[in-house]
Amino acid sequence: MTALLGFAIALVVGLTGMGGGTFTTPALVLLVGLPAGEAVGTAMIFAAILRLLAAPVYLLRKQVHGRYVWVLLLGALPGLLLGTWLLHRMQGASYTPAALVSIGIMLATSSAISFAPRLRNPNFAKQRRSWLSLIAVPIGIETGFSSAGAGALGSILLLNFSELHPAQVVGTDLVFGIVLAVVGSAFHLGWGSLDRGTLLQLLAGGIPGVLLGCSMSRMLSGAKLRTAVALVGIALGLQLVWVGSRTLLEKHNLPKLEAMRAAR
Query: What is the DSSP annotation of the chain?
Result: -HHHHHHHHHHHHHHHS--HHHHHHHHIIIII---HHHHHHHHHHHHHHHHHHHHHHHHHTT---HHHHHHHHHHHHHHHHHHHHHHHHTTT----HHHHHHHHHHHHHHHHGGG-GGG--TTHHHH-HHHHHHHHHHHHHHHHHHS-SHHHHHHHHHHHHS---HHHHHHHHHHHHHHHHHHHHHHHHHHT---HHHHHHHHHHHHHHHHHHHHHHTTS-HHHHHHHHHHHHHHHHHHHHHHHHHHHHHHHHHHHHHHHHHH-
> What pLDDT shows up at residue 179?
85
Query: Counting every residue, how long is the chain?
Result: 264
Give pLDDT, residue 262: 57
In tens digits, what is the pLDDT along the chain, a chain of 264 residues? 889 989 988 988 888 877 776 778 777 877 777 777 777 778 878 888 888 898 898 899 888 998 999 999 999 899 888 877 776 666 544 456 766 677 678 778 877 877 877 778 888 888 888 888 888 888 888 777 666 655 677 778 888 888 888 888 888 988 888 888 788 777 766 665 678 899 999 999 999 999 998 888 777 776 777 788 788 778 877 877 887 787 777 766 655 555 555 555
> What is the structure's pLDDT at 149?
58
Considering its fold, how many domains does the chain have in total? 1
Query: Which pLDDT does position 207 carry in this prediction?
Result: 93
Q: How distant, in Å, are the alpha carbons of 36, 119, 238, 261 from that of 23?
A: 14, 27, 11, 35
- What range does the domain containing 226 cover? 2-263
**pLDDT in the model for residue 191:** 61
In this structure, what are the phi and psi dihedrals at residue 218, rounded to the nearest 5 degrees?
Answer: -70, -20
Q: What is the pLDDT of residue 74?
A: 92
